[in-house]
Chain A
Amino acid sequence: MKLARDTWLVFQRQLLLMWRTPIWIAVGVIQPIFYLLLFAPLLKKVLEPMGATTYAAAYQIYVPGLLAVLCIFGGLYTGFSLLGELKAGVIERSRVTPVSRLALLLGRALREVVALLVQAVLITLIALPFGLRVDPLNLLLAYLLLGLLALMTSAISYGIALVLPNDSAMAPVVNTLAQPIALLSGVLLPLALAPMWLQTMAKWNPFYWAVEGMRALFSGNIGDSVVWQGLLIVVVMTTGAVYWSARLFSTRIR
């Protein structure tokens, strides 16, 4: 009860902060539209070997990947905002109050989850006129998966921000982490196009399973085992990331 109340408090404040810096909202809306309009048309030809002979089929493969990369990257980069709050003393000020430490993390991460899901919905809507068709139940399940991905990567990113000894280390660490995750999960191009050894490596990347699950959902194959496998992997990883990060919020001094 206290956790829910405190989380709501932190979440509200985070929404207010986002509202007061509207440039981020503008960027958040414009970026995915660029990806969709300027990059997707290239794909029809590339994806032909996978049987995507129409735009509709190409979007079926591309959109879930785009949504996943949005949530993974968006989440991983959210720690930069925490650096600012740490520097301003906001976190320290919160930590001398009895407010729940888990709420300090969850309120912030949920702001990111909501922002990313709004972007995901926008992208889905814009892709409809290009021929994207998804079953609503599958879509909801896909959004659940996306929300968990965003929560996990945000928690990881906050954890990194709290652990690092200085701010300038944040960018290289996050970039180095995000790059292989993105490349080895086939977010922009499916790994079915990749050579065998690359595909084998990708199977060790948990995000690969999440992306594959998303694609199955968008193609209407809710029964595909990769769906529950992807969900299970993401749930376990999210729990671990939140636990790790919440501990840092309560103990770490910067």
Chain B
Amino acid sequence: MIETKGLRKSYPSGRRGQTVVDAVRGIDLDVRAGEIFGFLGPNGAGKTTTLRMLATLIRPDGGEALIAGADLLADPAEVRRRIGYVAQGGGTTDVVTAREELVLQARMYGTGKAEAQQRTEDALKAFDLTEFADRPCSTYSGGQRRRVDIALGVIHAPQVLFLDEPTVGLDPASRGQVWAEIKRLRTEGMTVVVTTHYLEEADALCDRVAIVDHGQVVAEGTSEALKREISGDVVLLGIAAGESGPAADALRDQPYLDRLELQGEDGLRLYLQDGAAAIPQLLRVLDGAGVVPRTVQLQRPSLDDVFLARTGRSIDQS
């Protein structure tokens, strides 16, 4: 449904624009029809720039992209007819109502008045907006506004929907509601591309994920497959403040340990093949070094561990 090759974008920066910032440096993607595809990465990784390029808002410097069968560079007008896009901040006006916004949006896609009203009626029902559809947008809660934004993005029944950070700033209940709407769109056959820096969103919502860092895709696949690549388990050790250094020194040379990360003053993150079998040995070694662990947790690797393994940083740190 979406194929890109070497999509690039750089911006001039500095006082006279003499230096160049590479926001996106060659992105290759293959998004399949009917899936929810996620761009996961820290802020500033180039997710939004990529999404805005695919949505025809920014012209790429290079590369190519085929979106729903239309060529992004040669025929952006045709791409616009086949896609919907919802910006992170939405795009509603405070003093008009959701109904008025939906009718205008439908009409901007070229539909006649009667049909625009019919589509609005359908969208209000589908997204459960009827109750507040005739109140001004300024009175909506964050979750209500988000649902209106998404309804606006799909009023013309596009084949592909782009959502930029769809649940930023929402409370957990509203977030769940937005996820449910997005999954409903998938069952209707729509292809959905979302950007997110929430690990659990990528995990819970997306069929496949591309992990993006510094304008490049560093890993791509289903969340499960990506985590499987990080072979083995993660053991989290909680220790007394200031003792993480000595503990790390004691453990570093253990043969069953793949990797070790310090987590502040009072924690260690250990990557190893068989966590359950290693825990007794770990405790013995620590005991020998005079360090008493406070907590021990055995975890399966998360998408953050995948990010960590590929970039050497955690998503939350960057």
Contacts and interface: CB of A to CB of B under 8 A. Distances in A.
A110 B81 CA distance: 27
Contact of A17 (B81, B92, B96): B96
B46 to A, nearest CB: 15
B96 A20 contact: yes
A64 B236 CA distance: 80
B85 interface: yes
Nearest to A97: B108
B93 A17 contact: yes
A17 B101 CA distance: 12
Given A94-B108, A96-B57, A17 B89 contact: no
A149 B107 CA distance: 30
A17 B95 contact: yes
Contact of A16 (B52, B57, B59, B96): B96
6 contacts: A17-B93, A88-B90, A88-B94, A93-B87, A96-B56, A253-B57
B91 A90 contact: yes
A2 B105 CA distance: 15
A18 to B, nearest CB: 10
B65 to A, nearest CB: 15
A13 interface: yes
B209 interface: no
B108 A85 contact: no
Contacts of B55: 96
A41 interface: no
Given A9-B107, A13-B104, A253-B58, A97 B93 contact: no
A94 B104 CA distance: 10
B296 to A, nearest CB: 47
Contacts of A3: none
B58 A97 contact: no
Contacts of B107: 9
B89 A89 contact: yes
Nearest to B92: A88
Interface in A74-131: 85, 88-90, 92-99
A21 interface: yes
A212 interface: no
A9 B52 CA distance: 25
A98 B80 contact: yes
Contacts of A13: 96, 104
A22 to B, nearest CB: 11
Contacts of B109: 97-99
A90 B83 contact: no
